[in-house]
């Protein structure tokens, strides 16, 4: 979400006539788009602002913008510690970035943070703004902002506010526009995508089965987006296990464009800790729903997020996490050492923090379990021919090309001739490692259709 906001701020500045440069010395404006989910985000921000003070003093007219959720959370501190910042704006003010810069040019520094609790008149979905995208063939599309949950470790609800769903038609329109510009893969983005529409009050309407429906469902959105002609791949992130419903699995199975990949955050395998975290499911329910998904969707790849060392985690709690991880047979997992985020409930549980050496040892044991299942899954794919969306030359060896399968697996292969990013090819899998596949090029399926990268004005 934070990277998507960065694309939108860049797009707004592009649309305002600015040009991105590679080096800070060439810049007139520097934007620091902060994310307080990152560890030490505040230390990094103030360190960078310290360096930028000297940068700013070297040339008249240079400006500094601080945006993102740290600015939203710590607006006064940012102002006090870095009064030389020209603009401080929050997560709901992204659309005002260029206006505020101009304002600061004329009137001096400005801070503008919309209070997440009173957003109704101001709700702005970053996808409805111009974008400067990293590439032209895939795109994030925001379907929802904010979150109504209260996971004990998470700062998101307090910096991004309550859940607000973007209007259904606006999302589909944006996807159609993106496809007309050469995008072939979209990722629907939200904090809890499968609760999409919960806040939308529609006048009662009859569904096809005669039942009265009050709001759109995520599964319906998935179906409509997947039906946009020319769109080859649809992904979404992240669903919440407590809101995972059979109709979402059915929509994934029924729509060919929806990729066979589910990111399904576990966080812990201990029911006791899941309750302390306020996650709203048990390990058994989590695994039951996962099994429903595997039955409904052929060849489903599953990834997850797991926190190791949440306050109060006992050896027994951690054993449950290992058991559930083994049972879930993940294709990959983002594993995190618990670290407190100021302002969250978990950060107050200081008396229950787990010793770092214990956390490190558990982390290593979990890594072994996850890599074992990932490697087994990857070895099972040897000999298969997979469709790959090409991302570009490998970082380590430019003669090798990297891309992603529909299951979101990274594949490295050597093409017969250069292939542009955004092309689709078939590749036979010949080798496997825990974090990637190796393959042999078979056939070029399509070239990218985009001509050049543009700042895109949606809607
Ligand atoms: S569902 Fe939980 S972890 Fe995800 S954004 Fe909401 S509060 Fe944070």
Strand order in the sheet with 301-308: 261-263, 301-308, 332-337
For residue 131, the 8-state DSSP code is B
State how beta strands 212-213 and 332-337 pair: unpaired
- In the three-class reduction of DSSP (H, G, I as helix; E, B as strand; rest coil), residue 315 is classed as helix
| Ligand 1 binding pocket includes 156 (Cβ within 6 Å) | yes
Separation of CA 279 and ligand 1 centre (Å)? 9
Q: How far apart, in whole angstroms, are the C-alpha atoms of residue 59 and residue 102?
A: 18
| Ligand 1 binding pocket includes 277 (Cβ within 6 Å) | no
Q: 260-380 has which CATH code?
A: 3.30.750.200
Kindly report the protein residue whose alpha carbon is nearest to atom 1 of ligand 1: 149
| Ligand 1 binding pocket includes 270 (Cβ within 6 Å) | no
Q: Sign of the CA dihedral 377, 383, 385, 388?
A: positive
For residue 39, the 8-state DSSP code is T
Mutate to test the pocket of ligand 1, among 142, 153, 157 (most ligand atoms within 8 A of CB): 157
pLDDT at 263: 97
| Ligand 1 binding pocket includes 191 (Cβ within 6 Å) | yes
Q: Left if phi > 0, otherwise alpha if psi is -120 to 50, otherwise beta: which for 210?
A: left
Which residues, 6+ apart, have CB-to-CB distance to 355 below 8 Å? none
CATH 3.40.50 domain locations along the chain: 2-118
Please, what CATH class does the domain formed by 2-118 belong to?
alpha beta
Separation of CA 53 and ligand 1 centre (Å)? 35
Among the listed residues 334, 398, 327, 394, the one whose alpha carbon sits nearest the alpha carbon of residue 363: 334
State how beta strands 233-237 and 87-89 pair: unpaired
Separation of CA 361 and ligand 1 centre (Å)? 26
Separation of CA 1 and ligand 1 centre (Å)? 13
Q: Which two tokens stand for residue 268?
A: 């812990």
CATH 3.30.750.200 domain locations along the chain: 260-380
Which single residue is written with the structure tokens 């399926």? 445
Number of helices and strands in the chain (H, E)? 13, 19
Kindly report the protein residue whose alpha carbon is nearest to atom 4 of ligand 1: 191
Q: Sign of the CA dihedral 103, 107, 110, 115?
A: negative
| Ligand 1 binding pocket includes 101 (Cβ within 6 Å) | no
pLDDT at 454: 43
| Ligand 1 binding pocket includes 240 (Cβ within 6 Å) | yes
Separation of CA 80 and ligand 1 centre (Å)? 30
pLDDT at 210: 59
**Bridge partner residues of 206 (DSSP):** 212
Residues in the chain: 459
pLDDT at 459: 35
Q: 385-446 has which CATH code?
A: 2.40.50.140
| Ligand 1 binding pocket includes 359 (Cβ within 6 Å) | no
Kindly report the protein residue whose alpha carbon is nearest to atom 8 of ligand 1: 154
Task: Find the distance separating the first CA and the last CA of the chain, reported in whole Å.
Answer: 20
If the chain, 459 residues long, is cut into consecutive pieces of 10 residues, what is the mean pLDDT of each piece?
87 89 93 85 90 94 91 87 91 84 85 61 61 83 92 90 90 94 95 91 55 80 97 96 96 97 98 98 98 97 98 98 98 95 93 97 98 97 97 88 97 93 97 97 87 42
Domain 135-257 belongs to what architecture?
2-Layer Sandwich (3.30)
Separation of CA 10 and ligand 1 centre (Å)? 27
Answer yes or no: are the C-beta atoms of 55 and 30 closer than 8 Å: yes
CATH 2.40.50.140 domain locations along the chain: 385-446
pLDDT at 456: 44
- Of ligand 1's listed atoms, the one at least distance from the Cα of 238 is 4
Separation of CA 156 and ligand 1 centre (Å)? 6
Mutate to test the pocket of ligand 1, among 150, 190, 192, 286 (most ligand atoms within 8 A of CB): 192
- Of ligand 1's listed atoms, the one at least distance from the Cα of 279 is 2
Q: How far apart, in whole angstroms, are the C-alpha atoms of residue 441 and residue 379?
A: 18
For residue 322, CA distances in Å to 65, 277, 348 come to 44, 18, 26
**Bridge partner residues of 261 (DSSP):** 301
| Ligand 1 binding pocket includes 151 (Cβ within 6 Å) | yes
pLDDT at 334: 96
Mutate to test the pocket of ligand 1, among 1, 145, 149 (most ligand atoms within 8 A of CB): 149
Separation of CA 4 and ligand 1 centre (Å)? 18
Pseudo-torsion of CA 405, 252, 446, 408, nearest 10°? -20
Answer yes or no: are the C-beta atoms of 71 and 35 closer than 8 Å: no
Separation of CA 84 and ligand 1 centre (Å)? 34
Q: How far apart, in whole angstroms, are the C-alpha atoms of residue 58 and residue 61?
A: 10
Separation of CA 150 and ligand 1 centre (Å)? 6
Separation of CA 262 and ligand 1 centre (Å)? 17
- In the three-class reduction of DSSP (H, G, I as helix; E, B as strand; rest coil), residue 48 is classed as helix
Separation of CA 85 and ligand 1 centre (Å)? 30
């Amino acid at each position: 979400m934070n990277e998507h906001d960065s694309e939108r701020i860049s797009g707004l500045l592009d649309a305002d006539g600015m040009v991105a440069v590679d080096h800070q010395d060439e810049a007139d404006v520097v934007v620091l788009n902060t994310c307080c989910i990152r560890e030490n985000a505040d230390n990094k921000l103030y360190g960078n602002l310290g360096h930028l003070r000297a940068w700013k003093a070297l040339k008249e007219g240079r400006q500094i913008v601080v945006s993102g959720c740290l600015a939203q959370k710590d607006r006064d501190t940012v102002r006090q510690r870095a009064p030389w910042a020209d603009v401080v704006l929050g997560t709901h003010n992204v659309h005002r970035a260029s206006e505020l810069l101009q304002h600061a040019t004329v009137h001096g520094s400005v801070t503008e943070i919309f209070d997440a609790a009173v957003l109704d008149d101001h709700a702005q979905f970053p996808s409805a703004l111009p974008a400067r995208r990293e590439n032209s063939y895939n795109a994030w599309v925001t379907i929802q902002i904010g979150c109504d949950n209260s996971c004990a470790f998470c700062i998101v609800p307090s910096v991004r506010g309550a859940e607000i769903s973007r209007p259904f038609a606006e999302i589909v329109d944006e996807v159609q526009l993106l496809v007309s510009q050469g995008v072939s893969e979209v990722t629907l983005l939200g904090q809890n995508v499968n609760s999409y529409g919960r806040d939308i009050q529609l006048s009662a309407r009859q569904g096809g089965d005669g039942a009265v429906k009050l709001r759109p469902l995520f599964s319906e959105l998935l179906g409509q987006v997947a039906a946009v002609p020319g769109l080859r791949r649809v992904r979404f992130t992240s669903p919440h296990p407590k809101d995972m419903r059979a109709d979402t699995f059915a929509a994934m199975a029924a729509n060919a464009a929806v990729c066979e990949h589910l990111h399904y955050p576990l966080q812990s395998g201990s029911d006791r800790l899941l309750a302390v975290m306020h996650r709203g499911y048990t390990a058994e329910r989590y695994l039951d729903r996962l099994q429903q998904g595997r039955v409904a969707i052929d060849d489903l790849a599953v990834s997850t997020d797991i926190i190791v060392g949440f306050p109060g985690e006992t050896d027994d709690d951690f054993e449950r996490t290992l058991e559930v991880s083994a049972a879930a047979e993940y294709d990959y997992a983002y594993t995190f050492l618990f670290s407190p985020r100021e302002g969250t409930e978990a950060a107050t549980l200081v008396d229950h923090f787990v010793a770092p050496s214990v956390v490190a040892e558990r982390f290593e044991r979990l890594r072994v379990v996850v890599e074992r299942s990932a490697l087994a899954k990857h070895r099972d794919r040897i000999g298969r021919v997979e469709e790959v969306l090409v991302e570009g030359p490998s970082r380590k060896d430019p003669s090798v090309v990297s891309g992603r399968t529909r299951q979101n697996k990274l594949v490295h292969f050597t093409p017969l001739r250069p292939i542009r990013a955004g092309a689709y090819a078939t590749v036979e899998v010949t080798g496997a490692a825990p974090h990637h596949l190796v393959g042999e090029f078979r056939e070029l399926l399509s070239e990218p259709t985009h001509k050049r990268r543009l700042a895109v004005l949606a809607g």
